[in-house]
Amino acid sequence: MRTRTEPRTRLVPHTIDGETLMVREEYTVDVPVPPKDWDHIVLTGALAVVAAGLGIVIVWSTSSIGDLLVRTDVLAPIAYAAATGFSLGWIVCMALEWLARYDPARVRRPRRAGHVFLAADMAAVCVHGWVADSLKVGIIGAVLSAGAKGLYTLVLDHQAAPLDARTQQWVAIKRGEVGSRLALGAVRRQLTRAESRAAAEEAALRTAPDADPDRPAPTEDDTDTNVLPLPPGAVTAKDAVRTAWEAGFRDEDAIRRTASDALGRPLSPDTVARYVRALKVGA
């Protein structure tokens, strides 16, 4: 068995003049070296070859299709930027195939879309060869794209371990449960923001100025059975600051102005800063 030596450190007692302390001691141990995983090495090499092939194909296709678009009086930067879309389309579909490799139902759509993008890329490369009076070169470039796609498909099929029907159903159920939790989290955040805005609007309406400032203030004898008096302390300074915070305000000056309007009296900056610190800690 092959081994390798590794340095280690441990704490050992050391006594001087009757006082014992724990000090560090360095030592070495022989650790067994596992045998090389040739399957992993071969797979890594195959992926490296596929990645290199994809890089060559992207450069070739972009160069050919970009030159084809330039012939239509399109600016060169725009033409070559648009040309990358032909190759990137089916390469992105290949990435989606890899992510869905354990789900045959989900992998079909990106695989079909990848074939469509690949066909468009190969056709554009062939058209460029025909326009440039070199159809053979265009066909060779198209075959390169098809070869890169074929190599990737072979590697993907090797990596995609087939799942039995029951396990596939179990995976689908768990994926649905997690997806539902993510969706509910997003909905809860939307509802929280909507409730905060509604609370801020209600607070603003409760503290709106008198619509008729020239009207004299009512006396104690003036009663109106249709008007319900606002109980004292209905809106506190803390509530006003919290409402402004939940409405999305983060600048303390803006929070102080909004809270002062809601409260009906000015708030001191120190009071607002204290409540804001408490809200930040709670968040």
Cα–Cα distance, 86 to 33 (Å, whole number): 47
The pLDDT of residue 27 is 93
pLDDT at 230 over 70: no
Most confidently predicted of 81-85, 208-212, 276-280: 81-85
Q: What is the pLDDT of residue 234?
A: 56
128 in the same domain as 81: yes
Same domain flag for 79 and 157: yes
| Residue 223: per-residue pLDDT | 45
Report if residue 92 sits inside a domain.
yes
**What share of the chain has pLDDT > 90, as a percent?**
13
Domain that holds residue 28: 3-32
171 in a domain, yes or no?
no
157-214 confidence digits (pLDDT tens) = 887 777 788 888 888 888 888 888 888 888 888 888 888 888 888 888 776 454 444 4
Does pLDDT of 239 surpass 50? yes
Asked if 93 and 156 sit in the same domain, the reply is yes
Q: Is residue 62 part of a domain?
A: yes
Task: State residue 229's pLDDT score.
Answer: 42
Q: Is residue 122 part of a domain?
A: yes
* 83 shares a domain with 59: yes
Residue 57 CA to residue 148 CA, distance in Å, equals 7
Residue 93 falls within a domain, yes or no? yes
If one counts the domains in the chain, the total is: 3
Cα–Cα distance measured from residue 242 to residue 196, given in angstroms and rounded to the nearest whole number: 10
| pLDDT (0 to 100) of residue 199 | 84
The closest of 31, 30, 11 to 21, measured between CA atoms, is 11
CA distance 124 to 83: 9
Q: Are 122 and 196 found together in one domain?
A: no
Q: At what angle do helices 237-246 and 269-282 cross, to 10 degrees?
A: 60
